[in-house]
């Protein structure tokens, strides 16, 4: 397999390099907000003028017919996914049907929305560069990509404990039978010694988001806490990680990754060696659970802080949402769109004209029965 050059840091390796980047910002969904009101004349049941979208070859795709050609296997299998990102679930919190169309019809992101994402990513990178420099490490295997992530964690834990702050901290854990991964923007200790999670959200316009967007953001940071707490409490296991990712723990690491590991003081040969160090470090370094969840909204153009919000962690509510959203991924139910009260979201949706949820008046126009395993 050809090597790919990846940017890493002298102190930590970037999430992009680890194959573990989570869309930790809100630019895409923020763009869906309306300028002045969340009320709209958009009707949930009103069909759009077209049921077609251009395909990659320029030919029009009739979505209902195209969708019927899909097998009825669970979405995790249909989309060939080994794990989900935290932002996959927070996207479901905004509009599950929209998230599904993005999976089914990739490549239709409008240029202006892509620009918004790029701007937010640049701001995140600038903050990351405040604490470390970037170097390049070539990687050759999926084991290397996860090894880079583990090296990140091993370098971040002592920095957090000694300096009181670290950024872009990877998290992962099994939730409702599915591996969920993400990247926490910032972890820091307060003056009272409490561990605080800070999430940066950039805004294209100099105004705070609507309540629907804030709700999505609160759910996202709550998921980060849920996973991080499980990691430091020893509830995440290497066996579960290997099961979901199909990694080979005994496979020798690439020379560039090994060299970087030695520079960090880690004498390892394989991914399994690093995994053992990571799980020991997580549970034996006296890392506490996250005490405070804080979201900071800033204006992209001026970097002005628009406001901050402290989020109350409601474990029962988070678990309930996770169970509901995972039921889709496991094939137990069809995707759902927004409620009538939030039909205003459809005004700026790329898929409004072909949305089966809207055309069905709040119900999918076709229902697929989930696959059931045959009893042998």
Determine the Cα–Cα distance for residues 220 and 214; give it in Å rounded to an integer.
10
Question: For the packed helices 142-163 and 255-263, what is the interaxial angle rounded to 10 degrees?
Answer: 10
Q: Is residue 12 part of a domain?
A: no
Q: What pLDDT sits at residue 301?
A: 86
State mean pLDDT over 3-29: 42
For the stretch 101-110, contacts whose Cβ atoms lie closer than 8 Å and that sit 24 or more positions apart, written own/partner, are 101/350, 101/351, 101/354, 101/355, 103/75, 103/79, 104/67, 104/70, 105/53, 105/61, 105/63, 105/351, 107/56, 108/53, 108/350, 109/350, 110/350
The tally of domains found in the chain comes to 1
Per-residue pLDDT band at 6 (split at 50, 70, 90)? very low
DSSP three-state, residue 261: helix
Question: Which residues share a beta bridge with 195?
Answer: 189
What number is the average pLDDT over the span 197-203? 94
Residue 179: half-sphere exposure toward Cβ, Cα within 13 Å: 18
pLDDT of residue 5: 46
Report which DSSP code applies to 234.
T
Assess contact for 258 and 268: CB atoms under 8 A.
yes
CA dist., res. 226 & res. 218, Å (int)? 12
DSSP code string of 86-142: HHHHHHHHHHHHHHHHHHHSTT---HHHHHHHHHHHHHHHHHHHTT--EEEEEE-SH
Q: Would you say residue 134 lies in a domain?
A: yes
Structure tokens at 29: 């969904």
DSSP-derived letter for residue 60 is: E
The packing angle between helices 86-104 and 315-329, to 10°, is 30
- φ and ψ at residue 49, rounded to 5 degrees: -75, -15
The pair of structure tokens assigned to 253 is 């690491």
Other beta carbons less than 10 A from residue 302's beta carbon = 9
Give kind and range of the element (H or E) at residue 322: helix 315-329
Report residue 297 as tokens. Answer: 């909204």
Instruction: Give me the pLDDT at residue 255, please.
Output: 93
Q: What is the pLDDT of residue 324?
A: 96
Question: Strands 178-189 and 165-175: what pairing?
Answer: antiparallel
Answer yes or no: is 55 within a domain. Answer: no
pLDDT for position 115: 55
Q: Residue 375 — pLDDT band, cuts 50, 70, 90? A: very low
DSSP state of 208: P
User: For the chain, first and last CA: distance in Å?
Assistant: 40
Helix, coil or strand: residue 165: strand
Q: What is the mean pLDDT of residues 340-364?
A: 84
Question: Does residue 41 belong to any structural domain of this protein?
Answer: no
Task: Report the alpha-carbon distance of residue 306 to residue 208 in Å, rounded.
Answer: 6
Chain centre to alpha carbon of residue 79: 16
Helix then strand then coil, in percent of the chain rounded to 5, is 40, 20, 40
**pLDDT(317) > 60:** yes
52 belongs to a structural domain: no
What is the structure's pLDDT at 137? 80
283-293 average pLDDT score? 95
Q: Which of 129, 148, 130 shows the shortest CA–CA distance to 138?
A: 148
pLDDT of residue 134: 64
Which residues, in sequence order, are bridge partners of residue 135? 8
> Would 10 be classed as within a structural domain?
no
CA distance 245 to 358: 36
Q: pLDDT class for 367, splitting at 50, 70, 90?
A: very low
User: Mean pLDDT across the chain, nearest whole number?
Assistant: 79
Give residue 81's domain range.
Answer: 72-106+119-355
Residue 192 inside a domain? The answer is yes
Q: How confident is the model at residue 372 (pLDDT cuts 50, 70, 90)?
A: very low
Query: pLDDT tens across 201-231, in order?
Result: 999 899 999 998 999 999 999 999 999 999 9
Lowest mean pLDDT among 47-61, 154-168, 271-285, 332-346: 47-61
Q: Which residues touch 44 (CB under 8 Å, ≥6 apart)?
A: 337, 338, 340, 343, 346, 357, 358, 361, 362
Domain membership of residue 360 (yes or no) is no
For residue 265, what pLDDT band results from cuts at 50, 70 and 90? very high
């Amino acid at each position: 397999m050809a090597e790919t050059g990846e940017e890493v840091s002298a102190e930590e390796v970037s999430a992009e390099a680890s194959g573990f980047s989570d869309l930790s910002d809100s630019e895409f969904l923020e763009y869906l907000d309306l300028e002045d009101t969340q009320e709209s004349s958009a009707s949930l049941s009103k069909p759009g003028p077209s049921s077609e979208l251009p395909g990659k070859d320029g030919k029009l795709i009739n979505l209902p017919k195209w969708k019927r050609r899909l097998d009825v296997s669970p979405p995790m299998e249909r989309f060939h996914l080994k794990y989900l990102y935290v932002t996959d679930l927070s996207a479901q919190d905004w509009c599950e049907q929209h998230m599904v169309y993005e999976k089914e019809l990739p490549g239709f992101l409008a240029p202006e929305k892509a620009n918004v994402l790029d701007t937010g990513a640049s701001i995140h990178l600038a903050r990351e560069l405040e604490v470390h420099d970037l170097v390049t490490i070539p990687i050759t295997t999926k084991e290397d990509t996860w090894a880079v992530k583990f090296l990140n964690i091993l370098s971040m834990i002592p920095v957090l404990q000694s300096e009181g702050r670290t950024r872009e901290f990877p998290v992962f854990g099994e939730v409702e039978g599915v591996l969920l991964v993400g990247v926490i923007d910032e972890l820091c200790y307060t003056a009272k010694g409490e561990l605080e999670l800070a999430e940066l959200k950039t805004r294209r316009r100099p105004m705070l988001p609507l309540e629907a967007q804030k709700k999505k953001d609160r759910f996202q940071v709550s998921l980060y806490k849920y996973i991080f707490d499980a990691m430091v409490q020893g509830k995440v296991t290497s066996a579960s990680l290997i099961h979901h990712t199909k990694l080979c723990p005994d496979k020798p690491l690439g020379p560039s990754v090994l060299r970087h590991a030695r520079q960090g003081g880690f004498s390892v040969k394989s991914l399994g060696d690093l995994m053992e160090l990571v799980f020991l470090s997580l549970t034996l370094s006296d890392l506490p659970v996250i005490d405070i969840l804080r979201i900071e909204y800033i204006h992209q153009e001026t970097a002005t802080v628009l406001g901050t919000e402290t989020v109350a962690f409601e474990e029962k509510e988070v678990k309930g949402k996770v169970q509901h959203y995972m039921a889709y991924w496991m094939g137990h139910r069809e995707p759902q769109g927004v409620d009538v009260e939030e039909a205003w979201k459809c005004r700026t949706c790329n898929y409004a004209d072909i949305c089966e949820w809207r055309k069905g008046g709040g119900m999918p126009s076709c229902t697929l029965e989930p696959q059931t395993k045959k009893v042998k």
